């Protein structure tokens, strides 16, 4: 079983989705994340073990490589797709409560900004790390963040902005949310942002890549 869990983590790290997927070329014709997950379930491996010992290590390794500049966005997206495919087999166990999520995250790109690639990568990495993620999409108003927080009051909020012109909207959104819910943790990210900016607007942290955010959240829960 330990060997199968390792194979699963490698399949996710390399982006090997299933038996039929041609990528990566050196794994063509071999089982992928879907088949390894299915085999582990058939072998009565606990779903929580599959997630934490098979799936999450693979996403963690590819995330670290991305943070180190050893891989790029396409590799992250392919790995996340493999993870998503395998996760369909675990969904019934999440729904039943047999597998417990780390927590809840509300994510969105702030109002006036339509960029979503970075946000989508963060969402997929966090989902792969065991979080329930509520993706509000792009051009998200401060009121929409609050509305989602009212539905999921224990959530952490993650905001993205890729334009210098929308950074001020992020500032206003953080202020607005903190006034309504001071205890809610808000983390920000995006190309023009810095830790200094995050401090100035009252955010709880800035992370330049999804891997460092995932590691921080794992440490604070």
Residues 64-110 have pLDDT tens digits of 888 888 998 889 889 988 998 998 998 888 777 777 788 999 999 99
pLDDT of 141 reads: 97
| Sheet strands (E) in the chain | 104-109, 132-135, 156-160, 186-189, 205-206
Cα dihedral 111→144→218→188 (10° resolution): 20
The band of 197, judged by pLDDT with boundaries at 50, 70 and 90, is very high
pTM of full prediction above 0.85 = no
Domains of the chain: 2-96 (1.10.1240.10), 104-220 (3.40.50.280)
pLDDT of 63 reads: 83
**120 close to 204: Cβ distance less than 8 angstroms:** no
Residues 186, 130, 128, CA angle at the centre, nearest 5°? 100
**pLDDT at position 127 over 90:** no
As beta bridge partners, residue 156 has: 105
**13 close to 27: Cβ distance less than 8 angstroms:** no
**pLDDT at position 221 over 80:** no
The per-residue pLDDT of the chain, averaged, comes to 92
CA–CA separation, 202 and 174 (whole Å): 7
CA–CA separation, 26 and 2 (whole Å): 23
pLDDT of 97 reads: 76
Q: Is 83 exposed, middle or buried (0-12, 13-18, 19+ CB in 10 A)?
A: buried
**pLDDT at position 124 over 90:** no
**pLDDT at position 128 over 80:** no
Instruction: Report, as an integer, the average pLDDT of 37-55.
Output: 94
């Amino acid at each position: 079983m330990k060997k199968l869990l390792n194979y699963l983590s490698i399949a996710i790290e390399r982006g090997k989705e299933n038996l039929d997927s041609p990528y990566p070329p050196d794994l063509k014709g071999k089982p992928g994340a879907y088949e390894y997950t299915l085999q582990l379930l058939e072998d009565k491996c606990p779903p929580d073990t599959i997630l934490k010992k098979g799936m999450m290590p693979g996403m963690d390794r590819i995330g670290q490589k991305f943070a180190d500049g050893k891989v790029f966005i396409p590799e992250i997206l392919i790995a996340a797709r493999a993870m998503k495919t395998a996760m369909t087999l675990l969904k019934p166990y999440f729904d039943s409560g047999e597998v417990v999520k780390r927590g809840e995250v509300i994510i969105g790109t702030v109002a006036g900004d339509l960029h979503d690639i970075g946000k989508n990568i963060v969402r997929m990495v966090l989902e792969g790390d065991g979080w329930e993620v509520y993706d509000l999409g792009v051009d998200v108003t401060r009121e929409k963040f609050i509305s989602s927080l009212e539905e999921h009051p224990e959530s952490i909020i993650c905001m993205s902005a890729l334009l210098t012109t929308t950074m001020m909207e992020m500032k206003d959104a953080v202020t607005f949310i903190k006034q309504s819910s001071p205890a809610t943790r808000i983390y920000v990210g995006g190309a023009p942002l810095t830790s200094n900016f995050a401090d100035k607007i009252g955010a709880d942290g800035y992370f330049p890549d999804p891997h460092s955010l995932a590691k921080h959240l794992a440490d604070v829960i």
